[in-house]
Structures are given as structure tokens and as C-alpha cells.
Amino acid sequence: MIENQKIRPAKVIGPLGEPLTLDSLPPPNTTRWVVRRKAEVVAAVNGGLLSVDEVCERYGLTVEEFAGWQRAIDRSGMPGLRVTRIQHYRSLYERQQRY
């Protein structure tokens, strides 16, 4: 039975270097997603604190929306999560891919 249980870390390192726990993540009823909150959720998944399915259920996100956050961080870091700059970072990434 023990082998079926998932072993999860008690905390992971957040995007700003601070420890993140389940209690320190944004609350489940979050509707205003600022860059820091998005980055914290992505760090929690990357660190194994939550699974993608758990995050989507907890925050009411689609898998595609969360995957977009992960892609944005992978490509441009935290600034890539800024909604007002999405087009800028998207075109920058596309130009880099061409060359």
C-alpha cells in the first residue's frame, strides 16, 4: 500500500527564492492572477507540491491555460507572464525560433 502513495515535499522554492507550502499558495478562490501568483503555482507544480490536475481543479483553470503559464516562464521567465506584454514576448520568441 505504501508504494501507491505519492511522496510530496513539504515545501518547494518559489519564484522569488522563498519557501512555498500548500498553505502559502494563492487561495483557491483567486480570480486576479498577477505574475507572482502565476509563478508560484507553476513553481509548486514543477517542485512536485501539486499535480497539474490538482492545480486545475483547485483554481478552476484549464490544462491549456496552465500550460501557457509554464511555456511563458520557460521562454521569458516571470516577465513573460505579464498579460500586457504577451504579444511582445510571443513575437520575440517567434523571431528567435526563425534564426
What are the sequence ranges of the domains in the chain? Answer: 27-94
Class of domain 27-94: mainly alpha
Q: Give the Cα separation of 44 and 28 in Å (integer).
A: 14
Is-contact 23 44, C-beta < 8 A?
Answer: no
pLDDT of the residue at 9:
92
Of 96 and 41, which is predicted with more confidence?
41
For 48-70, what is the mean pLDDT?
96
pLDDT of the residue at 93:
65
